[in-house]
Amino acid sequence: MTEHIVRKDFDGGITQLILGRPPVNALNPAFLNAIHDRLVEIESDAGVHALVIASGLPVFSAGLDLREVQNFSIADQVAVVDVLNANLYHLYGMNKPVIAAVDGAAIAGGLFFVLASDYAVAREDAKIGLTEVRVGVNFPVAPLEIARAELAPAVSRKLMLGGLNVDTGVAQKMGIVDEVVGAGAVLPRAMDVARDYASIPPLAYAGVKTQLRAGALTIIKDAISGQCDPARAGWFTDETRAAMKMLLAAATRKA
């Protein structure tokens, strides 16, 4: 699965982590485990002063791989909940700047890689959304706590209960992304932001980031170490599988 993730290192301690699992960077346990390993590697690399997380595909990430996960056993569901929580814990708490280059749609679980970053640059024609409720699932601990910390209550209500996608211009007004730029400008602008953030004294940056996020990170860490995320008891229901099948059928008809 490492062939779906490319690490590129640049002068000034800037590293790009480029996701590339065709066609839409759909998340499954193997892909999430590979991302997690790279995040841990980058987190402990003193030569990295800022990380840019990007996609090499037309979509940033469409979230869970519905074709695969609809048939997951309870053990499979536990595995995907655990690795999703671990990914978001490391990304949200990373001791260096993380910039998201959102050069395409970021939907459901894919959007949490944006919300867990420190700054997000998005393409003007991309779609943003948290569609979990329409897939018949609730939120494991890490995405839930990140949403609570990063989204205003009214934004959480509209996105998480409505389950609809919005344009990036609307997402910027909601505070979900920080900048909206034209096609072809996302990654260059994200790199500029990364260079600026990399110039901040690193110990101060890591310390302030910890101060800001300590509450959510503590809850996530305790849930991971205690294996007490309620989603571990079974994330999917019969309703979930029916909703997934319906969405996949609709996508097939559109195609």
Query: Looking at the domain assignment, is residue 92 inside a domain?
Result: yes
For the stretch 41-89, pLDDT in tens is 999 999 999 999 999 999 999 999 998 988 899 999 999 999 999 999 9
pLDDT at 215: 97
Residue 39 has pLDDT above 80, yes or no: yes
pLDDT at 249: 79
Residues in contact with 232: Cβ distance below 8 Å, sequence separation at least 6, in sequence order: 77, 78, 81, 82
pLDDT at 255: 57
Q: Looking at the 3D structure of the chain, how many domains does it have? A: 1
CB 175 within 8 A of CB 151: yes
Query: Looking at the domain assignment, is residue 131 inside a domain?
Result: yes
Structural domain boundaries enclosing 91: 2-198
Q: How far apart are the C-alpha atoms of 160 and 62, rounded to whole Å?
A: 16
Residues 50-59, buried b or exposed e (16+ Cβ, 10 A)?
bbbbbbebeb
Question: Given the structure tokens 């065709």, which residue do they identify?
Answer: 22
Query: Looking at the domain assignment, is residue 170 inside a domain?
Result: yes
What are the tokens at 41? 């590697």
**Got the DSSP string for 132-166?**
HHHHT----HHHHHHHHHHS-HHHHIIIIIH--EE
For the stretch 131-166, pLDDT in tens is 999 999 999 999 999 999 999 999 999 999 999 999
For the stretch 241-250, pLDDT in tens is 888 888 887 7
pLDDT at 248: 80
Query: Looking at the domain assignment, is residue 110 inside a domain?
Result: yes
Query: Looking at the domain assignment, is residue 63 inside a domain?
Result: yes
Residue 20 has pLDDT above 90, yes or no: yes
Query: Looking at the domain assignment, is residue 203 inside a domain?
Result: no
Query: Looking at the domain assignment, is residue 161 inside a domain?
Result: yes
pLDDT at 238: 86
Query: Looking at the domain assignment, is residue 119 inside a domain?
Result: yes
CB 198 within 8 A of CB 13: yes
Q: Name which residue leads in pLDDT, 237 or 205.
A: 205
CATH number for the domain spanning 102: value is 3.90.226.10
